[in-house]
């Protein structure tokens, strides 16, 4: 089986969020279980030179809006699987990975170039696995090509939704300039008076997946469907929820090189060293008895920061520490900075993106806060489980699939989970967590329950293979 994974970001080449983690790890996990997988992703200005192992193709001619571009492709295996990085400076050498008015055009180019590149690489893939709106253009082009190009006739397309909130919208007038002028194509893209690359992907792909089971159900309702719930209901027999894994080599407290001390479920003493060092690095007075609450996230409404804002006063009143790492919307960045200024002996804040610090926080914290409004999967709650850091989550999407509420009688469960998006419900769980935290034996049990979970990619990759095989037969 030959599988090509196409993604706008992939670790370690590029990352702005969970999509990068997933697209980097899935092809590696597929390869490990014997699938011939290849990853296609852009080469950004931000992609480190050390990851570009060699120039594999220096004349990838891409016809584009009446011009011909000479793109290149670098080869690498830095993520643990064969990868081709499409290098086209006009499109990808920018100050950031996303955030430009013409993003739709940049990723339409990427989609088109990926298809040309795959054809250059030899035998056709059995499966092209596309991810999020950036690759919706490729889904439509592949649907068209399968009608007349023998090379593509046996290829099946899987389209994964990592976040339905990002739809890749642009003006319908642009469609023909991007090469999508046919009636079928215009219909596929058309959505409420504009063109949506995500919708097109959802319409034409053979199979749709989302990154958790619960999210696959939520997006079929008007509340979480972003106007596309009708389409997802229509295609529900082709829609599957496969919960993401996490990279057990990168996120492993036993070997993590970012930590001041390593630890395992048999000996958690290193975690206390991590906690001390974390508090010191933020210049906080060290009291190891007090719990450290942590948050790491993109600062957007999705992540439920509004709930944290509402309960911050009560949380500080418990005497706990709060450590936050994130960047994003101005009002949320302001909130964290103000909270730190208000309680500088209890709060540590880092506004920005910092991979090493994310590891240190996962290891040094006691409790991880993730009260998301919606969460297609979420990775940080799984990193937390692995690092013996207890997550408090809202029961949505992947958070619901991956965290089980702790029951102090049966001693089952891995974290704390509340249902409604309400500050009082969130606070109840915080108090419940604190109550258990101060009972050392119970807390240890809860930590170990989480550390014993298996959220490795191997499980998830096998489910993808089942799906691919179903299509292939």
Which of ligand ADP, ligand GLC, none lies near 353, with the C-beta cut-off 5 to 8 A by kind? ligand ADP
DSSP category for residue 226: T
Report how far residue 249's alpha carbon sits from residue 327's, in angstroms, rounded to the nearest whole number: 26
Q: Which residue is nearest to ligand ADP (CB)?
A: 18
Cβ neighbours of 48 (radius 10 Å): 11
Strand partners, 239: 208
What sign has the CA pseudo-torsion 179, 183, 189, 193? positive
Instruction: Answer yes or no whether residue 216 interacts with ligand GLC by CB under 6 A.
Output: no
Interface residue with ligand GLC among 4, 22, 78, 157 (CB under 6 A) is 22
Report how far residue 287's alpha carbon sits from residue 293's, in angstroms, rounded to the nearest whole number: 14
Q: Where are the beta strands (DSSP E) in 7-64?
A: 36-42, 54-64
Cβ neighbours of 234 (radius 10 Å): 14
- Pairing state between β 207-210 and 190-191: unpaired
Q: Which residue is nearest to ligand GLC (CB)?
A: 18
CB of 298 to ligand ADP, least distance (A): 4
Q: Which CB sits closer to ligand ADP, 292 or 377?
A: 377
Peptide bond into 89 cis (omega under 30): no
Please name the residue that has the structure tokens 């994974």.
Answer: 5
Q: Are 136 and 163 in contact (CB under 8 A)?
A: no
Residue 258: closest CA among 142, 354, 327: 354
Report how far residue 129's alpha carbon sits from residue 22's, in angstroms, rounded to the nearest whole number: 12
Instruction: Answer yes or no whether residue 162 interacts with ligand GLC by CB under 6 A.
Output: yes
CB of 309 to ligand GLC, least distance (A): 20
Interface residue with ligand ADP among 290, 298, 425, 445 (CB under 6 A) is 298
Q: Which two tokens stand for residue 196?
A: 């949506």
Report how far residue 397's alpha carbon sits from residue 377's, in angstroms, rounded to the nearest whole number: 6
CB of 278 to ligand ADP, least distance (A): 14
Who contacts 132 (Cβ-Cβ below 8 Å, separation ≥6)? 7, 8, 19, 160, 161, 162, 163, 166, 198
Instruction: Answer yes or no whether residue 413 interacts with ligand GLC by CB under 6 A.
Output: no
Instruction: Answer yes or no whether residue 455 interacts with ligand ADP by CB under 6 A.
Output: no
Task: Determine the interface stretch with ligand GLC among 18-26, 101-109, 137-145, 406-414 (rule: CB under 6 A).
Answer: 18-26
Which residues inside 219-278 make contact with ligand GLC, applying CB under 6 A?
Answer: 244
Report how far residue 317's alpha carbon sits from residue 253's, in angstroms, rounded to the nearest whole number: 31
Q: Which CB sits closer to ligand GLC, 35 or 164?
A: 164
Cβ neighbours of 30 (radius 10 Å): 27
Report how far residue 404's alpha carbon sits from residue 419's, in angstroms, rounded to the nearest whole number: 12
Instruction: Answer yes or no whether residue 39 interacts with ligand GLC by CB under 6 A.
Output: no
Instruction: Answer yes or no whether residue 105 interacts with ligand ADP by CB under 6 A.
Output: no
Instruction: Answer yes or no whether residue 378 interacts with ligand GLC by CB under 6 A.
Output: yes
Q: Are 197 and 104 in contact (CB under 8 A)?
A: yes
Which of ligand ADP, ligand GLC, none lies near 211, with the C-beta cut-off 5 to 8 A by kind? ligand GLC
Interface residue with ligand GLC among 17, 80, 225, 260 (CB under 6 A) is 17
CB of 381 to ligand ADP, least distance (A): 8
Interface residue with ligand ADP among 1, 17, 179, 432 (CB under 6 A) is 17
Task: Determine the interface stretch with ligand GLC among 56-64, 253-261, 369-377, 459-467 (rule: CB under 6 A).
Answer: 369-377
Cβ neighbours of 257 (radius 10 Å): 7
Instruction: Answer yes or no whether residue 353 interacts with ligand ADP by CB under 6 A.
Output: yes
How big is the CA angle at 179 (ends 175 and 180), to the nearest 5 degrees? 55
Interface residue with ligand ADP among 190, 236, 327, 405 (CB under 6 A) is 327
Interface residue with ligand ADP among 354, 404, 423, 445 (CB under 6 A) is 354
Report how far residue 257's alpha carbon sits from residue 343's, in angstroms, rounded to the nearest whole number: 31
Instruction: Answer yes or no whether residue 377 interacts with ligand GLC by CB under 6 A.
Output: yes
Which of ligand GLC, ligand ADP, none lies near 325, with the C-beta cut-off 5 to 8 A by kind? ligand ADP
Strand partners, 76: 83
CB of 393 to ligand GLC, least distance (A): 12
Which residues inside 385-404 make contact with ligand GLC, applying CB under 6 A?
Answer: 398
Instruction: Answer yes or no whether residue 211 interacts with ligand GLC by CB under 6 A.
Output: yes
CB of 336 to ligand ADP, least distance (A): 11
Q: Which CB sits closer to ligand ADP, 305 or 377?
A: 377
CB of 211 to ligand GLC, least distance (A): 4
Report how far residue 173's alpha carbon sits from residue 226's, in angstroms, rounded to the nearest whole number: 23
Instruction: Answer yes or no whether residue 378 interacts with ligand ADP by CB under 6 A.
Output: yes
**Residues within the interface to ligand ADP (CB under 6 A):** 17-19, 21, 296-298, 325-327, 353-355, 358, 377-380
Q: Which residues sit at the interface with ligand GLC, rule CB under 6 A?
A: 17-19, 22, 162-163, 211, 244, 375-379, 398
């Amino acid at each position: 089986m030959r599988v090509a994974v196409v993604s706008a970001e992939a670790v370690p080449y590029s990352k702005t969020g969970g999509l990068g983690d997933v697209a980097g790890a899935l092809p590696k996990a597929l390869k490990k279980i014997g699938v011939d997988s290849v990853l296609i992703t852009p080469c950004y200005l931000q992609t480190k030179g050390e990851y570009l192992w060699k120039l594999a193709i220096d004349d990838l001619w891409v016809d584009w809006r009446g011009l011909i571009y000479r793109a290149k492709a670098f080869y690498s295996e830095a993520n643990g699987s064969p990868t081709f990085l499409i290098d086209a400076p006009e499109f990808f050498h920018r100050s950031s990975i996303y955030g430009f008015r013409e993003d739709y055009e940049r990723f339409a180019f990427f989609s088109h170039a990926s298809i040309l590149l795959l054809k250059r690489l030899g035998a056709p893939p059995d499966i092209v696995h596309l991810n999020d709106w950036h690759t919706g253009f490729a889904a439509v082009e592949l649907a068209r090509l399968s009608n007349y190009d023998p090379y593509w006739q046996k290829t099946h397309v899987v389209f994964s939704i990592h976040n339905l909130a990002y739809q890749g919208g642009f003006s319908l007038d642009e469609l023909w300039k991007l090469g999508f002028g046919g009636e079928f194509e215009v219909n596929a893209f058309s959505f409420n008076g504009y063109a949506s690359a995500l919708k097109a992907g959802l319409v034409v792909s053979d199979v749709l997946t989302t990154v958790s089971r619960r999210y696959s159900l939520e997006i079929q309702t008007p509340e979480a469907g972003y106007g596309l719930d009708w389409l997802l209901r229509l295609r529900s027999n082709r829609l599957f929820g496969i919960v993401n894994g996490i990279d057990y080599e990168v996120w492993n407290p036993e070997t993590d090189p970012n930590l001041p001390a390593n630890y395992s479920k048999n000996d958690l003493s290193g975690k206390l060293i991590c906690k001390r060092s974390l508090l010191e690095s933020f210049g906080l007075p060290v009291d190891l008895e007090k719990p450290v609450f942590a948050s790491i996230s993109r600062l957007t409404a999705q992540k439920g920061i509004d709930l944290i804002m509402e309960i911050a006063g009560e949380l500080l009143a418990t005497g706990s520490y709060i450590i936050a790492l994130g960047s994003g919307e101005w009002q949320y960045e302001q909130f964290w900075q103000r909270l730190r200024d208000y309680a500088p002996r209890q709060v540590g804040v880092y506004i920005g993106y910092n991979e090493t610090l994310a590891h240190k926080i996962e290891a040094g914290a006691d409790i991880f806060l993730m009260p998301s409004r919606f969460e297609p999967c979420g990775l940080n709650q799984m990193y937390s489980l692995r690092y013996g850091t207890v997550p408090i989550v809202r029961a949505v999407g992947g958070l619901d699939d991956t965290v089980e509420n702790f029951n102090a009688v049966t001693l089952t469960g891995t974290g704390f989970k509340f249902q409604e998006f309400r500050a009082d419900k969130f606070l109840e769980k915080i108090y419940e967590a604190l109550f258990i935290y101060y009972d050392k034996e119970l807390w240890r049990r809860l930590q170990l329950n989480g550390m014993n979970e298996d959220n490795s990619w191997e499980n998830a990759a096998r489910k993808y293979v089942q799906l691919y095989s179903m299509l292939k037969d």
